[in-house]
Amino acid sequence: MNVNSNNTALLVTDPQNDFLSEQGVTWELVGDSVKENRTIENIERLFKTAKDNGYDVFVSPHYYYPTDKGWMFGGTIEKIMHEINMFGRKSALSLEGFQGSGADWLERYKPYIEDGKTIIASPHKVYGPESNDLALQLRKRGIDKVILAGMSANLCVEAHLRELLEQGFEVAVVKDATAGARHPELGDGYEAAMANFGYIANAVLSTDEIVDSMEHPVSEAA
C-alpha cells in the first residue's frame, strides 16, 4: 500500500483521556498494553508527521450523552462503558464539563487536533463508523487510503478497519499506535486484534515504517 498526501489520510480513533490518560476509567485494563507499545508517543509521532507532510488528519471520537443511557440492550463492553460513564458528555449541544474530562482529548494531542485543520467526525456510538459521517468526510476530500491508529485495538480500531474496507478504502493499521485491554476472563484484546489485522488489513506496519512512508512517499506511477 503506497501512501501519498494527495489521497491518503491519517485516521485516529478515540484519542481521549478515558483510554490514554492514567486517570482514565479504562487505564487499569489498557495501561500495560499502552505502555508496552508506546502507544501515546507513537500516536503523537503520527500526528506530527502527518501535519508536517501535508496529510489530512481525521479523528473519529466516541461520546455518550445522557439520552444514550436509555438504550435497552448492548454487548458486554458496551454495557460496561455505560456503567462507568466512559466518554460521557453533558449534551450533544454543550461542552460543559468537557475540558479535562474522560471524553476530552489527551492534552498532548490538542495542538494537533485543535489546529483548525483536523477533521473531527461526528461521534461513533458503539465501535464502528457506520453511525457517524467519517466515510462521507473522507470521500469529500478525495481520500481512498487510510492510515489507521488509535484506541482500542480489538474494538473501535478493528471495527473502523472492517467498515472502511467494506466501503472500498485501502487501510493500513499502525500496530504500535494502538493497544488493547487485558481482562482475566475476556482475554487480551491487543493480541486478538493483531491476528485479525494480519488477516484483513491491506498492511500492518510499525510507526517507524509508516512515518518513513509518509516522509518518503512512492508515486502512484511507481
Question: What's the whole-number mean pLDDT along residues 54-83?
Answer: 86
Longest CA pairwise span in the chain (Å): 53
For 109-139, what is each residue's pLDDT tens digit?
A: 999 999 999 999 999 999 999 999 999 999 9
Q: Which pLDDT band, with edges at 50, 70 and 90, does 75 fall under?
A: confident
Question: What's the whole-number mean pLDDT along residues 12-32?
Answer: 95
Q: Which three cell numbers stand for residue 184?
A: 482475566
CA distance linking residue 150 with residue 177, whole number of Å: 6
Mean pLDDT, the chain, rounded, equals 94
Q: Which pLDDT band, with edges at 50, 70 and 90, does 142 fall under?
A: very high
Q: Where are the beta strands (DSSP E) in the chain?
A: 8-13, 56-60, 119-120, 145-150, 170-174, 182-183, 187-188, 203-205
CA distance linking residue 188 with residue 37, whole number of Å: 14
Q: What is the pTM of this model?
A: 0.93
Question: What's the whole-number mean pLDDT along residues 78-105?
Answer: 85
pLDDT at 220 over 70: no
In the block, residue with C-alpha cell 466512559: 86
CATH topology of domain 8-215: Rossmann fold (3.40.50)
For 185-215, what is each residue's pLDDT tens digit?
A: 999 999 999 999 999 999 999 999 999 999 9
Please report the pLDDT score of residue 67 as a whole number: 86
CA distance linking residue 29 with residue 35, whole number of Å: 12
CA distance linking residue 35 with residue 91, whole number of Å: 32
Please report the pLDDT score of residue 221 as a whole number: 54
First to last CA, the chain: 12
